[in-house]
Structure 1
């Protein structure tokens, strides 16, 4: 779980590792906005300021790796 990411040109692989049941509504909305639909689902996004801000909101629900 990466915390305090900084914006860059890197591609990030974002995987949902925990469910959103019981999470705050803004965290549910953030996970959905990242394009994640279920546990184990992975999306690739650019590490721009918006994406990094969203990831720093839900670091406990997602796993972030740099895409190869």
Structure 2
């Protein structure tokens, strides 16, 4: 049986999305991040983890 991720993640945009790949910009927007140093709390799901992994060079992630 798979372990259920019931926690939250705190995601912060720490690098600018200027001059990044278009799909990465869309992914950052999909995470709900709007500007530099903006922080959002998201559910810890496999889909969110995949989005974070795609743009890991732009964001900082903490367990909430």
Superposition TM-score, scaled by structure 2 size: 0.90
Q: Which runs of 5 or more structure 1 residues have no equivalent in the other structure?
A: 1-6
Please give the residue correspondences for 1:23-62 in structure 2 after superposition, counting only pairs within 5 Å. 23-62=20-59
4+ runs of 1 displaced by more than 3 Å? none
* Number of residue pairs aligned between Structure 1 and Structure 2: 61
1:19 aligned counterpart, secondary structure: coil
- Residue 10 of structure 2: aligned partner: 13
Q: Which runs of 5 or more structure 2 residues have no equivalent in the other structure?
A: none
Q: Which entry has the higher C-alpha Rg, 1 or 2? A: 2
**What is the CA distance between 1:10 and its match in structure 2?**
1.4
- 2: distance between equivalents of 1:59 and 1:8? 20
